Structure 1
Amino acid sequence: MFKPSAIFIDLDHTSLDARVNNKSVFSEKNRKAIIEINKEIPVVISTGRGLTSATKEIIDSVNLNSYVLWNGAKVVVDNEEVFLKEIPQEIALEIFDEIAKFKSVMVLNSDFKNQSYFAWKSLRFVLKLLRFDSLKKYDEFDRESTIFKFIVFDLRKEKLFKIRKHLEEKFGNFVTITESGNKNNILEISAKGVSKASGNKIFCEHKNIDVTRAIHLGDAMNDASCVGVLGKTIAFANASDAFKKVADEVLPYTYENAGLARFLEQFKK
């Protein structure tokens, strides 16, 4: 493979291959590989996550000061926020109300701990098993909130398809909607024009880096926006089937057991 101008890495199911205190973290092999490669080639986290304390700990553990969050809605370069784009508030409120009609789970700004909403608190125990730490009822939503990203969950995939179709027809001019999860069973909604590809490109522009020689590693369809924009978009073997079909390359191994370090090995001097 060509020597990339930058390496963008997703977090969950791509590079976070270990667990400590019930939190996803880099294995020591991945952590050391990122730090070493970053000395020669910029390594940038590009994730759907927001900057929670847990995500900040992950970033700090590898000494990185540039990252792309909320699928491109927030871009930080050399510890400076260079891009931030929220969903227009009026549109965000309408989207919240439309999703509520379907009685599906919503997480705002990727904040599972504080901004998870659902119709019935009676299902709290079941949903906590699915990572929802503090479930709130729809009517507890603060309508003055600034929203950068919606995550929409539903156990019925056909229902998610209906939600996506409905939202695209009603709000397609204002938002970007993509799927994520290894079974494409999650919807993610950001402002129009916002994607991991756009966020990665903004980083490259600020660093005067050729984006067509950059690479992106991921596992889901929210990584697919990078295809045709970056030089190469790469999927691990555990990636969703839909993403593997469009990725430029599919690795023969999964992200587990330091799969990222294994991939980065080729770029060591």
Structure 2
Amino acid sequence: MIKKIIFIDLDGTALDKKIEKGIFNNFNAMSIKNISSIKNLPNNYEVIISTGRANNKKLKRIVKSIGSKNYIFWNGAGIVIDDILVKNLVIEKSKAKQIIDYAKEHDLNIIINSDMDKIYVKSSWFRFLIKFFTYKKTYSYKSMAINSDINKIMFFSINKNKIKKAVEYINNNFKDIIALNTHKNYMEVTHIDAQKGYAELYMCEQLGVNPSHSFHIGDSMNDSTTKNKIGKLIVMYNASKSVKALADVVAPYSFKSGGLSKVIEDIKHNKI
């Protein structure tokens, strides 16, 4: 039988169960319905998580829940195969500092390496809102120190024009860095080779799977980098308009209430 890989995004795609309050959404776990659909696939299929999240305990718990040892994190800046880190792409520190300085000058809120427990915010009013609605602690710009490797930087703001301008600034001034406006109110910055598309090609090569026999299921522009690299880019019904315009397939299901399981069933029965 032909070996196939289904790469799945997490937020807005696979995570449809609420277990705690978050900054951008409250869905932080995978439902039994989604997990069962993955585990009941034929043996020639492998499901691999491909996410912008950090390689922390929460992610490892999700990976383990689907019985996998392979996954992609930080949008491709990190790749794990057989529970071993095989790729780690960092942003050069001097350039990371320039980008962070730009964010500070334009009052953008900052998250380094997807660490949701360390959110740097200038506005005391916005800090109060984050704490009130999510119970997350925030920090001032002054407390930020760049001592370790930076693989991914996220900026967010209620002013979507600031985000749009920041994306343009970074992509126009740093050749080896890419900024993606993954949502109208936030953006993600990584090394230019840290893209889900490149990471998934690498994963296919290492696992001996033809990329044309693989699928990627997502919902935002960081999933768009898989287009024309992986066999089919499938996006959920709740996906952003920009990535829907690029997708090979727009699924008729929202991520909520086991939407991913329905897409997986369609793939299994050759409906996609």
Partners of 1:21 and 1:141 lie apart in 2 by: 26
Query: 1:165: Cα distance to partner?
Result: 1.5
Residues 118 and 158 of structure 1: CA distance in aligned 2, closer, same or farther (over 3 Å): same
Equivalent residues of 1:107, 1:117 under 8 A apart = yes
Give the structure 1 partner of residue 24 of structure 2: none
Deviation digits for residues 23-77 of structure 1 (CA, Å, limit 9, x no counterpart): 6111111011112227431110000001122222211211211000000000011
CA contact (8 A) 1:112 1:132 kept: no
Compared CA separation, residues 63 and 51, structure 1 to 2 (3 A): same
Q: Which runs of 5+ in 2 are unaligned?
A: 22-26
Structure 1-normalised TM-score?
0.92
| More moved, 157-166 vs 130-139 | 130-139
Could you tell me how far apart the structure 2 residues matched to 1:226 and 1:38 are?
24
Kindly indicate whether the alpha-carbon contact (under 8 Å) linking 2:7 and 2:48 is maintained by their aligned counterparts in 1: yes
The verdict on how the C-alpha distance between 1:66 and 1:132 changes in structure 2, with shifts beyond 3 A counting, is farther
Cα distance, 1:130–1:219 mapped onto 2, change above 3 Å: farther
In 2, Cα distance between equivalents of 1:255 and 1:227? 20
Match of 2:59 in 1: 55
1:157 aligns with 2:160: yes
Is contact 1:180-1:186 (8 Å) kept?
yes
Is residue 34–residue 260 contact of structure 2 (8 Å, CA) maintained in 1? yes
SS at match of 1:37: coil
Distance in 2 (alpha carbons) for counterparts of 1:262 and 1:97: 44
Runs of 4+ in structure 1 over 6 Å off:
none
Aligned to 1:179: 181
Shift of 1:142: 1.4
Aligned match of 2:206: 206
Q: 1:71 corresponds to which letter in structure 2?
A: N
Residue 170 (structure 1) aligned with residue 201 (structure 2): no
Determine whether 1:263 maps to 2:263. yes
Equivalent position of 1:142 in the other structure: 145
Output aligned runs, 1:235-246, within 5 Å: 235-246=235-246
Hey, what does 1:25 align to over in structure 2? 29
Residues 1:64 and 2:68 aligned together:
yes
Count residues with an aligned counterpart.
263
Q: In structure 1, what residue type is equivalent to 2:251?
A: L
1:80 and 2:84 are equivalent in the alignment: yes
Number of the residue aligned with 1:13: 12
Structure 2 SS opposite 1:262: helix
Q: Which amino acid aligns with 1:176?
A: I
Equivalent pair of 2:3/2:44 in contact (CA under 8 Å): no
What is the CA distance between 1:4 and its match in structure 2?
A: 7.0
| Length-normalised TM-score, structure 2 | 0.91
Q: Percent sequence identity over matched residues?
A: 29
| One-letter identity of the residue aligned with 2:159 | R
**Please, what is the CA RMSD of the aligned residues?**
1.9
What runs of 5+ residues in structure 1 fail to find an aligned partner? none
